[in-house]
Amino acid sequence: MESFNMSIKPWVQAARLRTLPLSISGILVGSGIALSQDLFNTKIFILALCTTIGFQILSNFANDYGDGVKGTDNDDRVGPKRAIQSGAITPKGMKMAMAITTVITLLIAIWLIYEAFGAEKLLYSLLFFGLGIASIIAAITYTVGKNAYGYHGLGDVFVFLFFGWLSVAGSYFLYAQTLHWMVFLPASSIGLLSAAVLNLNNMRDYESDTKAGKKTLVVKIGLPFAKYYHYYLIVLAMLLMMLYSILKLNTGVQLLYLLAFIPLSLHLLKVRRAKDSKLLDPELKKVALSTVLMALLILIGYLL
């Protein structure tokens, strides 16, 4: 057990709690849509949140492990030191934590599936169990392994699919057990904003990633194009959300989420003016919190 650090602090830091609010944004939006149709279920909501948080913590552990053993996390990297990089947690200890987190999250996911579909709808249960396994694989292989997709510029695609489409449309399906194409408008909006957070992270780490051979999308297209790509992500996310409102709006209070567009717009100005990519580090939190704010306001709008 020497390799498994029993001190709480390094594990809390490795779990990166500041990333958890963003991970639940899709669940809040999917649940809000279900609430608007009188389909909300408290048990499903809580279990979906716990499952998503589990996947995010697993992803954070795996990210720490993958970048740590590859040497990508080094002194050139901007931001707080990672657990393996600093020596607070050993690679063996992190692998053990990943295994434990995987088992716990999978058990919660099975409970969630049972609450949603019972024993009758086996096909739906198998589908969501498969999606759960896919989420675990995606969380781990982002940076772990020789063919880690995060090292080949595919991180944005997976973030869009898992944080956006799967999180919003998947959580809505757990309540409704049916799906309408319009749900993919807010799902895409959340996915694009989540991809924008990753893009900011990769712009900030452009120099260190380039030296380490981590070919993120930013490294592939360069910083100038990455900025334009960032503008498109956020502006398109806002437009898709407004399009959904035009198609589905019942009352004006449902437009509360527009308040979240204010910090997002101010953020775009900051990115445009930033001459040094390292100065973008504080913007990560702003976009993540703005996304959560938008999701919460969508949920509140339907509650009201």
Task: Give me the pLDDT at residue 1, please.
Answer: 43
Neighbours of 78 (CB within 10 A): 16
Which SS3 state, helix, strand or coil, does residue 206 take? helix
Length of the chain: 304
Backbone angles phi and psi of 250, in degrees to 5: -110, -40
Global pTM?
0.91
Task: Give me the pLDDT at residue 125, please.
Answer: 96
- 94 near 60, Cβ under 8 Å? no
Which candidate, 186, 194, 130, places its Cα nearest to that of 162? 194
Task: Give me the pLDDT at residue 2, please.
Answer: 43
Which SS3 state, helix, strand or coil, does residue 222 take? coil
Positions in the chain short of pLDDT 50: 1-5
What is the rounded CA–CA span in Å between residue 161 and residue 76? 30
What is the rounded CA–CA span in Å between residue 273 and residue 85? 32
- For the four alpha carbons of 21, 218, 138 and 32, in that order, the dihedral sign comes to positive
Domain spans, the chain? 8-303
Nearest 10 degrees: Cα torsion 34, 37, 39, 40: 50
Task: Give me the pLDDT at residue 142, please.
Answer: 92
What is the rounded CA–CA span in Å between residue 169 and residue 181? 9
Query: From 1.10.600, 2.60.40, 1.10.760, 2.40.50, which CATH number describes the 8-303 domain?
Result: 1.10.600
Q: Cβ neighbours of residue 157 under 8 Å, at least 6 residues apart?
A: none
What is the rounded CA–CA span in Å between residue 221 and residue 153? 10
Pinpoint the alpha helices (H) of the chain: 8-15, 20-23, 25-36, 42-70, 83-86, 91-117, 122-141, 155-159, 170-176, 184-204, 206-212, 217-221, 223-248, 261-273, 281-303
Task: Give me the pLDDT at residue 3, please.
Answer: 46
